[in-house]
Amino acid sequence: MEVKRRHDWQVSPAEARDIQRRLAGEVSRISEVTSPHLIAGVDISAPRERGVATGAVVVLSYPELRLVETRVVSGELKFPYIAGLLSFREAPLTLAACGELSVTPDLFFVDGQGVAHPRRMGLASHLGLFLDKPTIGCAKSLLCGSCEMPGDEAGSYTEIVDRGKVIGATLRTKLGIKPVYVSIGHKVDLGSAIQWVLNCCRGHRLPEPARLAHLAAGGNLAPGQYKSESRPGFQSRLFE
């Protein structure tokens, strides 16, 4: 699929924050998700220190949530681990995996924040602008803002509020497990984001596309063989 180039990734932390502030105004909070046929999940397995990381994108058919395509790309992370600047560390590898896809998903789940971010430009929003597709942030921890814990039943949620504004939701996806933190990535509204997370959860804490992407990034999605492919600066593999 096509990946847009919005800016360079090799920048200083101060420049990265300026880029986030500039791009935050371009995030669309109006839902363009209507009848998706292909839903993707992206994730990355990355060491805190320098070293080789693995980015993965998994595409499933909807509503069956049948595996259609998986791309896994390995490479070195060149940006340091700095709170609030995760996209500058992880997005290049994730976008490289997305760029290898032979299909174009209608919606992406991202293991990270969207607008639930100090500068309203988390990984899910950043990827949404580069992919020009609807994205939803579905994180396992809270980055900023405050919220109350939702009820115990699946589907219960509470708002995440930061500086007087609602920036996301704390959503219980399964009885008896920790909630997830949902926020707008791009081209989706919060109500739709919550509903799509619930639509794609099939008995687990995370929506199925994000859960399988996590497994693929960690080398634990095993069906089929890898096919090696060349890409400058990266090692790419395709599940068959």
Alpha-carbon gap, residue 233 to 219, rounded angstroms: 20
Assigned domain for 148 exists? no
Determine the pLDDT at residue 46: 79
Assigned domain for 147 exists? no
Question: Rounded to whole angstroms, what are the CA distances from 115 to 138, 145, 161, 199?
Answer: 11, 11, 11, 21
Residues of the chain above pLDDT 70, percent: 90
Q: Could you tell me which residues are beta bridge partners of residue 108?
A: 40, 135
Assigned domain for 175 exists? no
Determine the pLDDT at residue 235: 44
Assigned domain for 129 exists? yes
Which CATH number do you get for residue 94?
3.30.2170.10
Assigned domain for 134 exists? yes
Assigned domain for 235 exists? yes
C-alpha neighbours within 13 Å on the C-beta side of residue 229:
18
Assigned domain for 45 exists? yes
> Is the overall model pTM greater than 0.75, yes or no?
yes
Determine the pLDDT at residue 14: 97
Determine the pLDDT at residue 50: 61
Quote the number of domains for the chain.
1
Domain that holds residue 130: 13-139+182-194+203-239
Assigned domain for 117 exists? yes
- Report, as an integer, the average pLDDT of 58-69: 95
